[in-house]
A = this chain, B = another copy of it.
Amino acid sequence: MQVTKTLDYALRSLTYIGHKPIVKHSMREISEHQHIPLNYLAKIMRRLVKKGIVKSMVGPDGGYTLRKAPSDIRLRDIYEAIEGEIRIVDCMDGNGICRLHETCPQLPVWDRVQLSMVKILEETTLEQMLSDRGIRGFTRVN
């Protein structure tokens, strides 16, 4: 029940790019400024590109730009680009029958948790994250 490092990397990269959305930013640049292993970052950027969150240009002076306006990029999209469909319990997709043959007392709760989480991720845009900067005056551990 934790935010993965990978998702963190993705968000750091996107907020980094988001600050200067017009300029192209190379992986190398992002990697160095955000302390993300270059080769690993490559994998991450790929997923963001495939989901249409980011646009890539190869060759010298290549790099990445946001494909949409920050106000149009939802945290949910980013989450799903990295982690896939949101599903906090395995049985929630419904593709199977429980070996216990009984109704599940847990599911209603997890359902509520997941819904509230999705709601927040859905409401939150990259733009908000960019302007939220510093509200809590918190500095990152890693």
Contacts and interface: CB of A to CB of B under 8 A. Distances in A.
Interface string A106-142: 1111111100110011001000011011111111111
B15 A88 contact: no
Contacts of A35: 99-100
How many copies of the chain does the oligomer comprise? 2
Contacts of A8: 89, 106
Interface residues of A, number: 56
Contacts of A109: 75, 120-121, 124, 129, 132
A3 interface: yes
Contacts of A136: 103-104, 107-108, 111
Interface string A75-107: 100000001001111110011111111111111
